Amino acid sequence: MIGFEIPAEVEELRERVAAFVDEVAIPAEHRDKGEHGLDDGLRAELQAAAKERGLFAPQLSTELGGLGLDMRAAAVLFEEAGYSLLGPQALNCAAPDEGNMHLLEVVADPAQKRRYLEPLARGEIRSCFAMTEPAPGAGSDPSMLLTRAERSGGGWSISGRKWFITGAEGAGFAICMALAEDGPTMFLVDADNPGMRIERIVDATDRTFPGGHAEVAFEDCQVGEAAVLGEVGEGFRYAQVRLAPARLTHCMRWLGAARRAQDFAIDRAAEREAFGQKLAENGMVQRSIAESAIEIETSRLLIWRCAWALDNGEPARHESSVAKAHVAEAVCRVVDRAVQICGSLGVSGDVPLARLIGEVRPFRIYDGPTETHLWSIARREVRRRSRRR
């Protein structure tokens, strides 16, 4: 049986998150002026407000101070939080920390959880996930991994370059993917390790993520055996533990941003007159609003379908690819239509739409470009059909 009812307790939380976003996050947006990400001071202030309202880290277990929600409930709250770009940061459910917390909760040993996961869950530190490399290294194809980890004394020496590492500047630690003797392996690297160096912050179109996106060098980065996350050679398997849910939570948050754009466009169309009528009475504007409404609804249903699969213990690789490919493109179209309806106002700094355009466009690339997901979906469909012949 398939149902779409939101449980009463989740609906109550959704309303509380919506009120928090309206009363705390949106009024603080004018203070978010950082060139490369949200200011750490404002982030801490917003997180303190979320803790005070009992809304902090809804996706984490109650043992870690969260609300212990499953993925379906998280989908409802993350979408509501995403209505403001500051909402996910305030609730400590933003990338890359949210994905890293999930990975650590599943894979880390007790000592690693105490050292890395617990302060991350409390919002005391930030983290980054260092896998992507400059060409010809790993990007959409992780098998092209060039960073190496070699045994050195009682530990490991990591050498390589990483590119576009979100949140590296100011992070407390990195989860670094490197090729060891037995295969790809994840390592926990403290940010003050002298062998890890941030070379520059990349000038990117988006600026929501604290610390921006960095180019990072690992040069004879010495770490102990205790720095290995999970088992040596299992890095790609652990990456799947992180990436499928992380893709989906990205979709949840950006769907909230698309709703914000749609709501703003509808309000503007209802008050703006042109050629003797309200914009909302214009057939072309009505079509844009309707198409965006349909894309918001279909995106939500794909997100909920994938969340259901994850909650039922499925790997959900196919479902997360379908959701990511559709939602990334749909969100961009919804925001673009909103800008078009609002005209010059839409591209001005007076309203949130211009900022949203810059923020959502990279989503079509992050967590796998749309084209990569379409390729994977097509291959799975061909295999599925061939098995039935």
* The pLDDT value given to residue 2: 65
Helix (H) or strand (E) holding 278: strand 277-278
Q: How would you write the pLDDT of the chain (389 residues) with one tens digit per residue?
A: 567 899 999 999 999 999 999 999 999 999 998 888 899 999 999 999 999 999 999 999 999 999 999 999 999 999 999 999 999 999 999 999 999 999 999 999 999 999 999 999 999 999 999 999 999 999 989 999 999 999 998 999 999 999 999 999 999 999 999 999 999 999 999 999 999 999 999 999 999 999 999 999 999 999 999 999 999 999 999 999 998 899 999 999 999 999 999 999 999 999 999 999 999 999 999 999 999 999 999 999 999 999 999 999 999 999 999 999 999 999 999 999 999 999 999 999 999 999 999 999 999 999 999 999 999 999 999 999 999 87
Shared domain check, 226 and 252:
no
CATH number at residue 62: 1.10.540.10
Amino acid 261: pLDDT: 98
3-state secondary structure of 277: strand
Residue 94's identity, in one-letter code, is A
Q: Are residues 189 and 72 in the same domain?
A: no
State the Cα torsion 213-219-224-229 to the nearest 10°: 40
CA distance linking residue 217 with residue 213, whole number of Å: 13
| Same domain, residue pair 145 and 280 | no
Looking at the structure, do residues 275 and 244 belong to the same domain, yes or no? yes
140 and 192 together in one domain: yes
Same domain, 246 and 199: no
Query: Are residues 302 and 357 both part of a single domain?
Result: yes
Q: What gap in Å lies between CA 164 and CA 9, rounded to an integer? A: 39
The CATH number linked to 167 is 2.40.110.10
Q: Are the beta carbons of 39 and 81 closer than 8 angstroms?
A: no
Look at the chain and report how many structural domains it folds into. 3
Residue 4 CA to its chain's centroid (Å)? 24
Q: Which of 217, 233, 249 represents a domain boundary (last residue)?
A: 233
Domain edge (last residue) among 192, 211, 233: 233
Tell me, yes or no, whether 372 and 315 share the same domain.
yes
Whether a cis peptide bond, with omega within 30° of 0, leads into 7 is no
Residue 1 in any domain: the answer is: no
Where do the DSSP E strands lie in 117-264?
127-130, 148-152, 155-166, 173-180, 183-190, 196-202, 213-224, 228-229
Q: Is residue 165 located within the same domain as residue 276? A: no
User: Do residue 143 and residue 160 come from a single domain?
Assistant: yes
- Residue 106 domain-assigned (yes or no): no
Are both 253 and 191 inside the same structural domain? no
**Boundaries of domain holding 49:** 8-94
Residue 190 contacts residue 148 (beta carbons within 8 Å)? no
Can you give the pTM of this predicted structure? Answer: 0.95
